[in-house]
């Protein structure tokens, strides 16, 4: 997933203070004048140098001159640092991070933004940390980690809104944050965001006395976000009012804002069942598409296909559905090829069984191809069904006329449907085999140590798709129980490949008898190597000394486990905020310990539990998790896991599972006893 590269609003403000109005539309004149200002400022050692360097970077950014930014900004940063104008310093630095992001290098962008945050945190610079969180939100969105993206944008808002007067960058934070909430279809939170957004705009415009061009940009994006929220919540009249207000600030449909307005106006007319008007608006938007962003193009042709279906133009709709899936297939195949190459590098760990892992990778490749085929076959079946429905309706209407469809044509159509059904069944069989292979990689035998009575352990993994990205594992070495539970970023085939690597690495490294923090170090370094795709895994790693009940653990960005105390109360354990595994090599990981958990059930889980949603998008939540574990008397680890799984199903109430669900429960006695 990608997010759109919008023009930075600060450009209008910053350049407006330096350039004449008539020069703002002429890039060459702007750049020439800026270079002159920079030269003079350097000679005079003037404080305006930082402003000019930042404005030049924005000019490069808004004109997609990535090479110029990558060349100039590292040099310019050293100059601005000497001036100690830290706001300009961090603004300039984020332009470099954003350039890496939008040029397809998210891992480099993530390293830059982490460096920005660390630098600002060391200096206790709230502005620097705020825009670092803002940029981090964009990076996470590109990596398809929408939950982390929302969290980062929220932290950025909270930090920047506390600064007075309001920083200019807040306008961009609101805009991008709104886009991600719309992408998540979290329309309730998006509507709440627009309330804060309006408060900010009202004060910001009043205090800064902005020119009309800048005001138009700010209010266009605001009213567009309001429309997105209201359309998503089914308030079509309010959404139409928002779009009309947004249109008042748009001077040309050819602008990015104008094109976006056309798309959402077409969506409104579609929801209002005014399909002819929706198609006309989609035509106007399609005619302006420049071919730069395939994500935008997929949205456009998907919207067009939906409209054509409602107009009864099934053949035309089918062509656009097929075109959409061809584009998706091409894009996904390229991304998967890159991910598989990165996985091959990770498989160069000496201790792994190379032949077995190579076989698994081949199976995953085959599975990906099959998944693409089944999408096409299902679509074909839908098209054939729609055609038959159309023909049947026509036959009833014109029964008195000569039948147009010949017997041979019907036979061909039925043969195609039969072939489609056969192929679909074959692909579903392949997916079941791949799922069985993945399930066989994690422990399935419970109880895992039948000769022992001092360990009660049970775990389960329920993928959201045919294959998943969650994992768990445990091994017994001497008198110590090593166990882990992890959650890979993303879902489906790429996540399952990363899961296979992470699980096997844990099993190999644990055999060395290292403490949890050192296990995390080794896993992180191996998973980070050549990981330009930016995939990562959160993981809880624990070691229980069975005779004493001591728990040593390291938490790598995972959800806090729950412990049930002897008095029946439950609570989340406090932990160090270590980073997930696989993002940056060389990160230090801190380990912790609990002196004795003997007789206390210990429950570890993935966010598929507490973030499970029902049809109203209400999450299961941490409070209900604690309540269920506390009010149900512990009988066994298996009973605890199965009870929680059943309650998640009850909460979902038929809603589709959106994330992998993995749980592990363990209880040890502390005093070693063996069955004789």
Positive/negative CA dihedral, 407, 409, 412, 413 = negative
- 415/403 Cα distance (integer angstroms): 20
H or E stretch covering 592: strand 592-594
Through-space distance between the first and last CA atoms of the chain, rounded to whole angstroms: 57
Chain-wide mean pLDDT for the chain?
82
The string of DSSP letters for 527-540 reads HHTT-TT---EEEE
- In terms of pLDDT, which residue wins out, 540 or 531? 540
Instruction: Say what the pLDDT of residue 343 is.
Output: 35
- 520/117 Cα distance (integer angstroms): 23
**Residue 19 bridge partners (DSSP):** none
Angle at 518 between CA 514 and CA 523, to 5 degrees: 105
Instruction: Say what the pLDDT of residue 100 is.
Output: 86
Look at residue 359 and give its three-state secondary structure.
Answer: helix
Taking only the tens place, the pLDDT of each residue in 70-85 is 888 898 888 888 888 8
Residue with tokens 């061909």: 412
> Residue 305: which of 326, 320, 286, 290 has the closest Cα?
320
Buried b / exposed e along 12-45 (16+ C-beta atoms within 10 A):
bbbbbebbeeeebeeeeebbebbeebbeebeeee
Tokens of 297: 């193009």
Instruction: Say what the pLDDT of residue 16 is.
Output: 37
Burial class of residue 266 in the structure, from the number of CB atoms within 10 Å of its CB (0-12 exposed, 13-18 middle, 19+ buried): buried
Q: Find the mean pLDDT for residues 531-536.
A: 82
- 257/6 Cα distance (integer angstroms): 9
Angle at 650 between CA 645 and CA 652, to 5 degrees: 95
Percentage with pLDDT > 90 across the chain: 43
Tokens of 46: 């003037």
pLDDT higher than 70, residue 427: no
What percent of the residues of the chain are helix, what percent strand, and what percent coil, each to the nearest 5? 60, 10, 30
CA atoms within 13 A on the CB side of 662: 26
The string of DSSP letters for 302-318 reads HHHHHHHHHTT-HHHHH
Q: Find the mean pLDDT for residues 224-240.
A: 95
- 182/188 Cα distance (integer angstroms): 10
Neighbours of 440 (CB within 10 A): 9
H or E stretch covering 39: helix 27-44
Instruction: Say what the pLDDT of residue 351 is.
Output: 38
pLDDT higher than 70, residue 221: yes
Residue with tokens 């998973």: 527
Measured in whole angstroms, the distance separating CA 94 from the mean position of its chain's CA atoms is 20
The answer for 47, left when phi > 0, alpha when psi is -120 to 50, beta otherwise, is alpha
**Residue 665 bridge partners (DSSP):** 458, 603
pLDDT grade, residue 21 (50/70/90)?
very low
The string of DSSP letters for 175-209 reads HHHHHHHHHHT-HHHHHHHHHHHHHHHHHHHHHHT
What's the predicted TM-score (pTM) here? Answer: 0.49
Which of 57-66, 409-418, 529-538 is the most confident on average?
Answer: 529-538
pLDDT higher than 90, residue 431: no
User: Are 611 and 624 contacting, i.e. CB atoms less than 8 angstroms apart?
Assistant: no
Taking only the tens place, the pLDDT of each residue in 551-609 is 999 999 999 999 999 999 999 999 987 889 998 888 899 999 999 999 999 999 999 99
> For 349-358, 509-518, 526-535, 659-668, which range has the lowest pLDDT when averaged over its residues?
349-358
Look at residue 364 and give its three-state secondary structure.
Answer: helix
The string of DSSP letters for 605-667 reads E-HHHHT-B-TT--B--HHHHHHHHHHSPP--HHHHHHHHHHHHHHHHTTPPP-S-EEEEEEE
> For 219-228, 320-329, 512-521, which range has the lowest pLDDT when averaged over its residues?
320-329
H or E stretch covering 594: strand 592-594
pLDDT grade, residue 412 (50/70/90)?
low
Instruction: Say what the pLDDT of residue 24 is.
Output: 41
Dihedral of CA atoms 325, 326, 329, 334 in degrees, nearest 10, equals -140
- 472/463 Cα distance (integer angstroms): 13
Instruction: Say what the pLDDT of residue 358 is.
Output: 56
- In terms of pLDDT, which residue wins out, 384 or 649? 649
């Amino acid at each position: 997933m990608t997010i759109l590269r919008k023009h930075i609003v600060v450009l209008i403000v910053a350049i407006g203070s330096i350039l004449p109005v008539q020069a703002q539309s002429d890039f060459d004149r702007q750049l020439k004048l800026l270079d002159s200002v920079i030269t003079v400022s350097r000679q005079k050692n003037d404080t305006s140098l930082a402003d000019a360097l930042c404005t030049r970077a924005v000019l490069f950014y808004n004109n997609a001159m990535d090479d110029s930014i990558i060349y100039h900004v590292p040099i310019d940063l050293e100059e601005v640092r000497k001036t100690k104008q830290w706001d300009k310093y961090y603004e300039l630095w984020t332009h470099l991070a954003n350039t890496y992001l939008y040029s397809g290098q998210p891992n480099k962008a993530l390293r830059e933004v982490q460096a920005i945050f660390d630098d600002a945190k060391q200096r206790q610079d709230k502005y620097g940390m705020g825009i670092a969180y803002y940029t981090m939100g964009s990076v996470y969105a590109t990596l398809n980690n929408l939950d982390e993206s929302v969290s980062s944008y929220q932290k950025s808002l909270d930090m920047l809104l506390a600064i007075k007067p309001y920083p200019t960058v807040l306008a961009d934070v609101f805009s991008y944050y709104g886009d991600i909430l719309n992408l998540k279809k979290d329309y309730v939170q998006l509507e709440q965001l627009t309330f804060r957004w309006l408060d900010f705009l009202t004060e910001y415009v009043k205090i800064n006395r902005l020119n009309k061009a800048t005001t138009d940009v700010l209010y266009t994006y605001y009213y567009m976000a309001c429309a997105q929220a209201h359309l998503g919540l089914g308030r079509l009249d309010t959404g139409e009012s928002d779009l009309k207000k947004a249109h008042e600030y748009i001077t040309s449909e050819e602008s990015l804002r104008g094109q976006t307005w056309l798309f959402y106006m077409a969506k409104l007319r579609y929801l209002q069942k005014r399909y002819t008007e929706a198609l006309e608006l989609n035509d106007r938007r399609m005619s302006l598409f420049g071919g730069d962003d395939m994500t935008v193009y997929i949205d456009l042709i998907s919207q067009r296909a939906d409209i054509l279906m409602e107009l009864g133009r099934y053949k035309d709709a089918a062509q656009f559905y097929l075109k959409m899936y061809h584009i998706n297939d091409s894009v996904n195949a390229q991304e998967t090829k890159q991910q598989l190459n990165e996985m091959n590098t990770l498989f160069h760990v000496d201790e792994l069984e190379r032949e077995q892992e190579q076989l698994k990778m081949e199976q995953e490749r085959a599975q990906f191809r099959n998944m693409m085929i089944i999408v096409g076959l299902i679509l074909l079946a839908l098209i054939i069904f729609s055609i038959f429905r159309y023909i049947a309706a026509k036959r009833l209407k014109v029964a008195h006329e000569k039948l147009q469809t010949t017997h041979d044509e019907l036979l061909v159509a039925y043969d195609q449907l039969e072939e489609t059904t056969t192929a679909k069944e074959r692909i579903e069989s392949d997916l079941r085999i791949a799922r069985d292979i993945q399930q066989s990689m994690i422990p399935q035998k419970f109880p895992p140590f039948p000769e022992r009575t001092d360990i009660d352990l049970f775990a389960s993994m329920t993928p959201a798709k045919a294959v998943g990205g969650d994992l768990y594992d445990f091994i017994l070495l001497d008198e110590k129980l090593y166990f882990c539970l992890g959650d890979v970023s993303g879902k489906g085939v790429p996540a399952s490949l990363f899961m296979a690597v992470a699980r096997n690495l844990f099993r190999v490294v644990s055999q060395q008898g290292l403490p949890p923090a050192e296990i995390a170090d080794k896993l992180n370094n191996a998973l980070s190597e050549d990981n330009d795709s930016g995939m990562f895994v959160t993981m809880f790693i624990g070691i229980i000394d069975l005779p004493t009940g001591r728990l040593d653990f390291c938490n790598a960005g995972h959800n806090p486990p729950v412990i049930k105390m002897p008095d029946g109360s439950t609570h989340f354990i406090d932990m160090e905020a270590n980073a997930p595994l696989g993002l940056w090599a060389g990160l230090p990981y801190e380990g912790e310990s609990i002196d004795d958990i003997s007789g206390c059930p210990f429950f570890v889980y993935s966010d598929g539990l507490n973030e499970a949603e029902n049809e109203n998008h209400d999450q299961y939540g941490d409070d209900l998790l604690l309540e269920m574990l506390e009010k149900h008397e512990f009988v066994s680890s298996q009973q605890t896991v199965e009870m929680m799984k059943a309650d998640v199903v009850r909460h979902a109430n038929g809603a589709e599972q959106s994330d992998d669900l993995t749980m592990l429960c363990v209880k040890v006695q502390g005093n070693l006893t063996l069955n004789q």
